[in-house]
Amino acid sequence: MGRFLIPKYRDEIFLMTKSHARTGEDAKKHLELSLKALKTDQLDLWQIHTIIDPEDVDKRIENGVLDAFLEAKEKGLTRYIGFTGHRSPVTNLHFLKRLEERGLEMDTCQMPLNVLDPSFESFQKNVLPVLLEKEYGVIAMKTMSGGSMMGRRIDTTPEWIKTEMIPDMVRETGISPAELHQYVYALPVSSLVSGCNNLEQLEHNIGVLQNLKKLSESDIQRLEKLVEPYAGLIVENYKRVLS
């Protein structure tokens, strides 16, 4: 990607990447490789990727991952740092608590926000208010549950979920892809990361932004009620129930 973006478009793009490293040394190696591949000496955002559960959070902190990210920002290798988590709001809140214990804050959090989320293990209800209070940048992802809202298997679909068990929620409810995006844009988010498989999807997503419809509170409630029967681990199969 760096071959096409850098240096021609460097000042026009917000360049972000992530590391799933479990140790500080591996995180530093990932950063070095990313900077080299992207042909730049500074990222705009570097994120700790996919925190799994509170134990995973604690181990990564103990093994120096957080310190590696803090050091990278201090050295100017990245402008901002953040974290991503899509498994459980409990995990994201635990990470925020661990940061608070050290008197630290990161800059961003990337997490699932979609029309199904309020009805099951909700990031919107449990994590979003905390992030806003701390003035984090909120990056929404999985607006269409990675495609499983269309009845598809995705990379997080466990084997026990058979393909025929996944409902085509979009077709069955008549909700449109544009409405799925509009719902998330109605939330207090900084950005929406939308996975695109082809140019047609990219152009559609751009069109939603160019012709953005502002949803009313009644619109939001109607959409949430419409999809509520589909809430749970089948469609949002990337989530885990943690107590």
Residues 6+ apart with CB under 8 A from 36: none
- 80, 63 Cβ separation under 8 angstroms: no
User: In the structure encoding, which two tokens stand for residue 174, read together?
Assistant: 């008549």
The pTM for the full model equals 0.95
- 145, 161 Cβ separation under 8 angstroms: no
Complete domains list, the chain, with CATH: 2-230 (3.20.20.100)
pLDDT in tens, 141-181: 999 999 999 999 999 999 999 999 999 999 999 999 999 99
CA distances from 148 to 77, 145, 182, 187, 216 (A): 36, 5, 18, 22, 26
End-to-end CA distance of the chain: 40
pLDDT recorded at residue 91: 98
Residue length of the chain: 243
pLDDT in tens, 40-66: 999 999 999 999 999 999 999 999 999
Residues 6+ apart with CB under 8 A from 6: 38, 39, 40
User: Side by side, which strands form the sheet with 43-48?
Assistant: 16-19, 43-48, 78-84, 108-112, 137-141, 191-192
pLDDT recorded at residue 183: 97
pLDDT in tens, 221-232: 999 999 999 999
- 49, 84 Cβ separation under 8 angstroms: yes
The gap from C-alpha 36 to its chain's centroid, in whole angstroms, comes to 24
3-state secondary structure 187-238: CCCCEECCCCCCHHHHHHHHHHHHCCCCCCHHHHHHHHHHHHHHCCCCCCCC
pLDDT in tens, 97-116: 999 999 999 999 999 999 99
Compute the chain's Rg from CA coordinates. Answer: 18
Question: What span, in angstroms and rounded, lies between the C-alpha atoms of 34 and 78?
Answer: 11
User: In the structure encoding, which two tokens stand for residue 127, read together?
Assistant: 């994590």
Min mean pLDDT across 135-144, 186-195, 220-229 is at 186-195
* pLDDT for 1 beyond 80: no
CA distances from 55 to 59, 88, 135, 240 (A): 6, 13, 26, 14
